[in-house]
Structure 1
Amino acid sequence: MGNQVEKLTHLNYKEVPTADPTGMDRDEGPRIGVSYIFSNDDDELEQQQDSGHDLGGEHPALQPYDPQLHEVECSVYYRDECIYQKSFSEEDVLPEEGEEGGRGHLSTYTPENLLNRCKPGDLVEFVCQAQYPHWVVYVGDFQVVHLHRLEVVNSFLTDASQGRRGRIANQLYRYKPLSPAAVVRNALEQVGCKDRDLSWRNSECFAAWCRYGKREFKIGGELRIGKQPYRLQIRLGDKRSHTLEFQSLEDLIMEKRRNDQIGRAAVIQELSSHLQAAEEEDEEEEEDHPHHPGARTAVE
């Protein structure tokens, strides 16, 4: 196949190694996340939508969008530091400058209402059931810059939304942001960049890089040396979670976005099946090979 590189397919959770930095996970040992190579999730989704329209197929009716019903609560850690958090619990939310609290930070609005809320340098996340979130940088005058179909483009916010509801996403990542002027400049300087010249895998990585300026959001921005310093902790319910480990932030973001695309119910079902299978294997191993009290069984 020459120099072509095939896209990696996602492994199911029974095959994906995990570990939990908070000790809430019920697995017994460290496990590793999935790497994604040369995949642009926004582009893939839009191609699927276009092909569906071309064939004239009818899409099943979707329920009204409810963030708490459809979205996955999760936290991202770099070693022991929390660098991203999506939580519907108000006590977990850091208030933005000038706000008294974090109430409503995950509420969604129509594109028209967002225009009244956005300031230059803000990140906006458009969300919809069964779709990857689409991130844009608001640059003023009703316009945004975003990565769309393997090209950085300048669009009106209402056009970039494609009818989806959205939220200002400044609070999700906990890095210190650049000045609004620097964020806007970063975004505008990349307009027209496309295809092989791109340094980002998806719209979220591009928008976050514009706001925080961190190379970790870029393709190959971190060396892969066998360690997994990043952890994606997925909440399953009260005091229950499951955590995947990753070598790089960009790989972790791809997995997080996949979870957003398939939805909360599907993620919980996948993880519950994996945890149940792991517990059954542990029980069988305990029966076949009893060990001394206090010893731990390592997961390969």
Structure 2
Amino acid sequence: MTVTVLVPDDYGVAAVSRVTGARALRFTLGEPLPAGADEAEILVPGFLVGPHAVEMTWALPKLRYVQLLTAGAENWVGKVPEGVLLSIARGAHGASTAEWALTGLLSMYREFTEFAVAQREHRWTQHQTDTLHGKRILIVGAGDLAVEMRRMLAPFDTEVTVVGTHAREGVRGVDELPTLLGDFDAVVLMVPVTSQTIGMVDAEFLSHMADHAILVNAARGVVVRTDDLVAELSTGRLRAILDVTDPEPLPTGHPLWDAPGLLLTPHVGGSSRGSLQRAWAVATSEIERYLSGDQPRHLVHGEY
């Protein structure tokens, strides 16, 4: 038996066509579904599609499985028809996102942004900068991103502590955060979006961070209460490196654009060369398991 898999791009057509027992059928989001889509059992949405893509699932009567190309599933959890499996591309973007976070920290500590401005203005501003070497780094989140981040920080002789939903060997519990935050030079957010993480970085959370510490958000914008962060940045007490914001995209005139001590990128942490290939490698592996009767490794259970 051949299973129809709806895919969003030519790379997906080629990748799924190599899976035994699968037939790739390409669709274009926002356009009518192609002929034969009503037979689709598997849907692979595009990379970083918005919540509107979820509506497709209700128009596919034989849909049994949704395979995402991202590690984040917040737009899909609880919104697909009952009985439809949902799997994420865990492991596809961890190294790239950790690289983004590392680059942000190095850029801020070594003042590369300021030096770039000086270059454009033809100013020679030789002076001593700070360094990442020996810093104390707290990673909030204990998944694939945290593993990759810890690995990349190792050559800098940093002191790394990881916080997860519960304490276990090598991981501190999230309930310890209020007493932990003040001991670190940088706090890196690498958590999924759940009811427990939405808004977790609020005025109280930020108030526990050490003076001059850096908040790095490699998660999602809704994890941080934007107004509370803007208030802290405005005082100059804290700095921040953000790849995600709430709202997103950041609208013209939003106070974050001009907040002092902020390095901002437009949600590009996982968007590096090869990201599509890495995501499809995970996706096809998961689809192969599903078609063979095995449970996909990265199924979402509950909120994540």
Q: TM-score, normalised by structure 1?
A: 0.30
Instruction: Tell me: higher relative CO, structure 1 or 2? Use CA pairs within 8 A at least 6 residues apart.
Output: 1
TM-score (norm. length: structure 2): 0.30
